[in-house]
Amino acid sequence: MADSDERAPSDRMRERGPHSQRWLWVVLDADRRLVAAGILAVLFAATVAVGTLLPTPAFLLLTEGDPHETLFNALVGSTITGVTLVLTLSQLVLSQELGAAGDQRERMEGAMAFRDAASDAAGVAVAPAEPSAFLRALVEATSEQANALADAAPGGDAGDAVAEYADAVVENARVVANQLEGAQFGTFEVVLAALNYNYSWKIYAGERLRAEYGDALDDDAHAALDDLLETLELFGPAREHFKTLYFQWELSELSRTLLYAAVPALGASMVGLLLFDPAQYPGATLGVSHALVGVAAAATVAVLPFALLLAYILRIITVTKRTLSIGPFVLRETERNADIDD
């Protein structure tokens, strides 16, 4: 058991994968508008750099035929298609809230039953209403139950294994509880803190602890371990529920942002298509064609909706990929050992 714990995956979600910390900061922590702005800046700089370094001057390429008209004509169509996509996303979010009165009542009864179970597990009369406080109550309950398990631990190897397991639960719970304190739903902080609580591995490790040392545990230790595993099992669906609500929140925010961005994007495409003539800008500054800068700037504004869509979806799919399963299943690559394979 000790060897298994040493090789257990990290509690922090960003450390349970092959990607670098900088990349995970971009796709998870950074403000989505900042990420979109970075995408646009890279696109503009790359277009200007490539156009400047080509053997044929960019001014000649832009004035021979109508390449800019072809480009902006395509961007007008893509912007309109993007608005259609926004409407589809809005309908997707809205469909989750529609239903007959009986369906809504079943949802309400299910939510209340789960709240009652969480209240009993957390040892409180009424479960908190705010998502961050609700998750924090469950996390703190696991910490208290882990301490109770450690107090009831026997001596010898079984006691060492129980103490090591309990210490890992308490430490992770302390960190996550601090992250959840004061976190406001609608921001990524609540979801990230919940993802940093590696409940699935704790369930797996707790089950192995019971299987290996169950005969050495007395009734109090068995009861404490059962309570801890029950609370961990409640944390799983609670995290998935709030993650789903956050995704709906993000998709709603994305839909509104894309609608706002579609207006300047469509305007830039129309101006570039109808009014902009590269032949009227023959000069250059520091070897960079004025016509190239104008076309690149208009095209950059025109792809604003796509940059925003990419920025938002990157975070959603990253979280989704890392939380595909619920319960003690390991889908990602991690350092394997005999305990996992058994």
Q: What pLDDT was estimated at residue 263?
A: 92
Single-letter amino acid code for the residue at 340: I
Q: What pLDDT was estimated at residue 196?
A: 87
Return the structure tokens found at 56: 């044929």
Instruction: Establish if 340 belongs to a structural domain.
Output: no
H or E stretch covering 289: strand 288-289
Domain that holds residue 167: 2-329
Angle at 323 between CA 311 and CA 142, to 5 degrees: 125
Number of structural domains found in the chain: 1
- In the block, tokens 């993007």 appear at 82
- Under 8 Å between Cβ of 173 and 139: yes
Q: Which of 140, 105, 108, 101 is nearest to 124 (CA)?
A: 140
Q: What pLDDT was estimated at residue 330?
A: 58
- Under 8 Å between Cβ of 256 and 33: no
DSSP 29: I
Instruction: Establish if 339 belongs to a structural domain.
Output: no
Instruction: Establish if 334 belongs to a structural domain.
Output: no
Predicted TM-score (pTM) of the model is 0.78
Half-sphere exposure of 266 (CA within 13 A, CB side): 12
Residue 79: Cβ within 10 Å count: 26
Task: Tell me how far CA of residue 212 lies from CA of 38, 157, 158, 159, 311, in angstroms.
Answer: 52, 11, 8, 12, 46
Q: What pLDDT was estimated at residue 59?
A: 87
Q: Which of 303, 317, 143 is nearest to 231 (CA)?
A: 143
Q: What pLDDT was estimated at residue 266?
A: 92
- Under 8 Å between Cβ of 11 and 196: yes
Instruction: Establish if 338 belongs to a structural domain.
Output: no
Instruction: Establish if 279 belongs to a structural domain.
Output: yes
Q: What pLDDT was estimated at residue 340?
A: 40
The residue ranges of the chain whose pLDDT is under 50 are 1-6, 334-342
Q: What pLDDT was estimated at residue 338?
A: 40
Length of the chain: 342
Instruction: Establish if 341 belongs to a structural domain.
Output: no
- Terminal-to-terminal C-alpha distance of the chain: 12
Task: Tell me how far CA of residue 198 lies from CA of 154, 303, 321, in angstroms.
Answer: 26, 39, 15
